[in-house]
Amino acid sequence: MASPLTFSPTFSLQLSAVLLLLLSSSSSSSAAATLINESSFLLCLSSKFPSATHLSSVVYTQNSSSFDSLLQFSAQNPYLSTPSTPNKPLYIITPVNEAQIQASVICSKRHGLQIRVRSGGHDYEGLSYLALEPFLILDLIEYRAIDINVGERTAWVQAGATLGELYYGLASTSLGFPAGVCTTLGLGAVTVFTVSRTVEEGATGLMGIWQNVAPRLPDELVIRVILQAATTRSTVQASFNSLYLGSAQDLLSVMKLRFPELGLRAEDCQQMSWVDSTMYFDGFPSGTPREALLNRTKSGRNSFKATSDFVVEPISEEGLRGLWGKLLEEPRGLMIWEPLGGKINAVSETETPFPHRRGNLYNIQHYVNWDAGADAQRYIDWIRSLYSFVTPYVTRNPRGAYLNYKDLDLGRNINGPNTSYETASVWGLKYFKGNFRRLALVKGRVDKDNYFRNEQSIPPLLA
C-alpha cells in the first residue's frame, strides 16, 4: 500500500510491498482438515523446496527451540500476543528465495493451512502473525535484499526489509525515499523542526490556521502536528513537527510567508542529512550512530490501539476546544494530524488503491498506548469515545480510514472464506472508497476461493 509521506516519532512503519505469489495449480480445497498431518506437510515442503535447502534452517516447528523467540521478535503490539493468545502458528517459515515461498504456499494450501505473511510485524491489529484458523507464518525476515541503482535512481527492495535498512542503504548515495511513495529524489541537506505550543500559547488559533495552510504548502515542506495533553496534564499541547527539503535559511523565508503565526526562529531549526532526518523523526537521540537503523529491535515496545479519519473541512474553534477536553481525559492518548495535498493530489483517486486524495485536508491518526500489565480495556474504551466524538468533523458516507492504521473495530471477516462483498464493504469502502469494488473483482479473478485472507482482507467478487 502506498502511503502518503508517513513518518512517525513513535514507531517506524514497515515497508509493505506486494508479494506476488503464483500458484501453479490450485490444489483441492477439500483439504480443509483442521488436523494437520505434520509428516505429510514436511514431506511436501522437502519435495518442493530447491534441493539445496536445509529444511531445519527455514522451517521452524513449535518444537524448535527458537520458535517462541522468532515468533515474538517481530510482534510489535504486545497486548495482541499474550501467552493466552488462542492460536499460535503451527510453523514459522523464513524463506530466502521465491522458490521456497512458492513451495510453502502450495503445501499449505494442500494441507488446509492458512498463511500469514509478516515483514516487520507492524500490522496494527497483528494480522501478520495471529489467526484463529490453523496457520503458519511466512516470515520474510531473511527476504530483505536491497538493490539500489544510483544511475537510474531506482531501488528494488524485498518485502522483508525494514525502512531503516532502506534508509541506511541510501545514506551513502545522494538519494532519499519518502516512505511509501514510490519516487526517488536527490537530496542534500534538509531542515527539521519541532515547535510546541500549548493552548495558553495560542495552540487553538494556530490549529485553525494550520488546517488551511498545511495542505497547501510547497511540495518541499510538510508540517504535521501531534496533539496531546501536556506533561503537566493541565493543558493540551500542539507539536508542529516538520521536514523541509532545503536549508534552514530558505525554510525561514517560506515560513515567514506561509505561516508567520507560528513564529519559527532560526534556533528552532536543525539542518542535517536526509538520512539523519529519518532518525530524528523516529525519535533516536541526536548522535545515535546510523547503524541503529539496521536494528530490527525497538526498545520500549508498548501495547497500543489506533484508528484513523480524514478531514475535508477545517474543524471549528468550538470543535477544537471539545477535542482538547477529550485529550485531557487521557494523557496516554494522542492525535497525529498529517497534512495531505502536494504530490498526493497529483494522482487521481482511481489510479492506486489509496483513494483519499484531492479534497482531503489531512489525515488523523487517533492513538493510545499503555504499559505492560495495565488494563487495556480502559484505553481501548477511551479511543472509541474519541472516535465517536470526532464523527461530526470528519468524512462521512463513507467515513474514511487509512489501511496502514488498521482497526478491526471497523468490522471483520468472521466466516472464513465466505465473507460476502456486502459485509466487507463496511470497512472496505472506508479504506478504498470506489476502488474497493475493483479490488474485489481482481480478487475474484486471482483467488476466487479466498485462500489468501485475513480479518479485513478483500473478498472475491465474481464478475
Binding footprint of ligand NAG on the chain (CB under 6 A):
37-40, 43, 61, 63, 295, 297, 299, 415-418
User: Least Å distance between CB 163 and ligand NAG?
Assistant: 16
Which residue shows C-alpha cell 484463529? 132
User: Least Å distance between CB 156 and ligand NAG?
Assistant: 26
Is the Cβ of residue 316 or residue 415 nearer to ligand NAG in the bound state?
A: 415
Is the Cβ of residue 167 or residue 240 nearer to ligand NAG in the bound state?
A: 167
Is the Cβ of residue 107 or residue 315 nearer to ligand NAG in the bound state?
A: 107
User: Least Å distance between CB 48 and ligand NAG?
Assistant: 14
- Spatial separation of the C-alpha atoms in residues 6 and 177, rounded to whole Å: 11
User: Least Å distance between CB 422 and ligand NAG?
Assistant: 15
Is the Cβ of residue 37 or residue 82 nearer to ligand NAG in the bound state?
A: 37
Is the Cβ of residue 352 or residue 423 nearer to ligand NAG in the bound state?
A: 423
Check the CA dihedral 37-43-49-53 and report its sign.
positive
User: Least Å distance between CB 114 and ligand NAG?
Assistant: 12
All residues at 6 or more sequence positions from 374 whose CB lies less than 8 Å from its CB, including other chains: none
Partners of 242 in the β-ladder: 193, 223
CA distances in angstroms from 65 to 61, 71, 197, 261, listed in the order given = 9, 11, 51, 59
User: Least Å distance between CB 297 and ligand NAG?
Assistant: 4
User: Least Å distance between CB 294 and ligand NAG?
Assistant: 8
Which residue shows C-alpha cell 494441507? 111
Q: Angle formed by the axes of helices 435-446 and 421-432, to 10°?
A: 130
- Spatial separation of the C-alpha atoms in residues 27 and 10, rounded to whole Å: 43
Is the Cβ of residue 67 or residue 389 nearer to ligand NAG in the bound state?
A: 67
Buried b (16+ CB within 10 A) or exposed e, 394-424: bbeebbbbbbbbbbbebbbbeeebebebebb
Which residue, 459, 457, 461, is CA-closest to 1?
457
Is the Cβ of residue 3 or residue 456 nearer to ligand NAG in the bound state?
A: 456
C-alpha cell at 445: 479473478
Is the Cβ of residue 416 or residue 434 nearer to ligand NAG in the bound state?
A: 416
User: Least Å distance between CB 371 and ligand NAG?
Assistant: 17
User: Least Å distance between CB 164 and ligand NAG?
Assistant: 11
Is the Cβ of residue 167 or residue 382 nearer to ligand NAG in the bound state?
A: 167
C-alpha cell at 449: 476461493
DSSP state of 132: S
- Spatial separation of the C-alpha atoms in residues 431 and 97, rounded to whole Å: 32
- Spatial separation of the C-alpha atoms in residues 59 and 43, rounded to whole Å: 12
- Spatial separation of the C-alpha atoms in residues 115 and 136, rounded to whole Å: 5
Helix (H, G, I), strand (E, B) or coil at 42: helix
H or E stretch covering 341: none
CB atoms within 10 A of CB 283: 14
